[in-house]
Amino acid sequence: MADRKLTGMFELLDALEGVIKTSDPVKREELTKTIDAYHNDFPEDFRWAIGAQSPTLLSHLLLAIDWSCRSDAQPRSHSVRLIDRKPEGNA
């Protein structure tokens, strides 16, 4: 079992992003609209979910889902990507 590579948060997020990006565009647009509606109806909850007070995985998960269902031409104007992909170097 020592030879098994650990699956961490970034592998989980990459897999989820891949599934969403290759899913039906109509369903992705539906998810985008639902996330936008949730943000508009409960902005404090949405900001909490992607903020420092929420658990790290929840924050990354919600952001990954949000970004994955949007086209590159349709970024969320108020979102700032808070995570980097896999860390580089010896950090």
pLDDT at 51: 85
Number of residues assigned to the chain: 91
**pTM for this model (two decimals):** 0.62
Cα distance between the two ends of the chain? 25
For residue 44, what are the CA distances in angstroms to 1, 5, 57, 72, 89?
44, 38, 18, 25, 35
**CA-based torsion, 69, 65, 75, 14: positive or negative:** negative
Residue 29's identity, in one-letter code, is: E
Q: What's the pLDDT band for 82 if we cut at 50, 70, 90?
A: very low
* pLDDT single digits (tens) 43-66: 999 988 888 878 887 888 888 888
- The per-residue pLDDT for range 31-43, each reduced to its tens digit, is 999 999 999 999 9
Indicate whether 26 pLDDT > 70: yes
d(CA 6, CA 4): 6
Amino acid letter, 66: D
